[in-house]
Structure 1
């Protein structure tokens, strides 16, 4: 079981509660960099000197080299051309804007906004304003009546543990959703110091109102050990699929795990549709527990089955359905964590249940099988011990 000490993202004001939801993203071990030879914010160039435009901290923590020119970071200071881009995601044009973007004279767009939507941990957005990164923001704007299921937010530079610590990253951020009919919805996302490299928070949004825009604003920062530039790996929305399709979302392929997470959250009891092919020889284990600790290792399971051959699905599908619904009603925040060994991910609620009898505990293990994200394990926990 993962160390849950960093759990605790909180949700802001919300007019409605939800039962099922969705959202987004990624690649195995968050995948390989699209350009393995390049460096990211916080990396060193081929000459061993900091990349152009990068802000290096001096021995006393002060600024040793000025950052590239950027915006002041005020939300009403109109973004420059470099801080605005349109990206098509599953055919939907998404306008991405930001308070600033770190410039790289040798590789324009290296830290650009399009990197936030590509589900590639080797590409990042880095802000280019002076200061710590507090107040910097990125915003996604959608065409009218766009049905958005969820959002996946990955802090920092996830390319490596070294770069993750070297660069600044969000400590707390506010996600503001502007909905149709003038409605709003806010979430506060907490990223404790020990938030894992390559980890992400999945915001399980599902409302009857379309999302007009989503803005993520950095409220507080974990400073980098070497570089002042604040980085963000991903800020990805998940859309519903076309109405004529039988699936509610676009199935994830390649790096795209986020849509498949949304598909699971839409119909947890139909998890068998996401298993590896039975003929492929890859097991998909379901483990059941009556009680698990909040921190530490899991005890031996009371039951363990290969879901390809499991009889009596009704009992377990009901547990999954109720647990996903209960967790979504409590906070709407979930976590995606790299699995042990860096192969695949584990998806589960961000926080512990609010009451000892809450059915809100589950873990879903994901791995790529023949290039497709599949469920290779489910931990069905009926009750989690309170700390």
Structure 2
């Protein structure tokens, strides 16, 4: 073989290798975006299944729970999704089905962000930040705040996106800060309280920290914020903060003040640990007594809506009231208890939570209550 032939062969093989490399890279990116390159079917389990269940559930397809186990109800939900998307209906969440799911959730994230409800990025996964954005959108539009994008929420979002496209020139979205009032915001943006209330469909002057307000088109660049420290709503509700962020605010070893939402009783706790949620202990015997008073004198696994005040933030959360596990403080509390935040999970697979780690619906309902998103 001549030197020229050898050189051509080497170039050809290099081209094949490069093409193969690009194909593999593209396939990996596809798999990452679509959650998995595997066929998920009846009997499979794991994080891939949980992500698909979470997306389907929040898109109004009932998977029978978000537990990472591909059971008959998940098969049914996937089949319904495939039918709506005109895919092959086999109940198996293969790459094509997962890719369709990825694209729908990505577009939802883009739409929510475009109308002022930030999903903290577009990744095609229905994580806590996307749930939070949906809840905030539903609340702002007087819809049932359940985090599920059903027909009414979908229609309202489509209308909001259309309105945004029709009039994007002067719309401003303002996030309520501690101490804000509608009158102060109106002065700051050179508009009126009525105009803000009308633009946001508000029935009262009450607003909460973290709430997003659309400033009507008459508003302009804000003036220097007021230095008033009068608290808005007297701290009635907490911020809706995903667990991924909350665990960085309420770090292990930190002390927080807990306010029981229904009774108003307060006590201090110290974070002991926890990776799926916060494991905490009452700080003193007096704090233990206050907590027990909030539970009417009897320890219980009952979920309570609470506000967690720590590091200058007040965050919506939920706790149980049952001592269990490790104890490190002499405080008349024989163990520790759990505090859950938006999207946090149970430990799972132990004597107190024998089922696999999962997002506990009862805890999440209390988190939403503490954030003012449900009664």
Q: By percentage of residues, which structure has more strand?
A: 1
How does the TM-score come out when normalised to structure 2? 0.26
Q: By percentage of residues, which structure has more helix?
A: 2
Which structure has the larger Rg?
A: 2
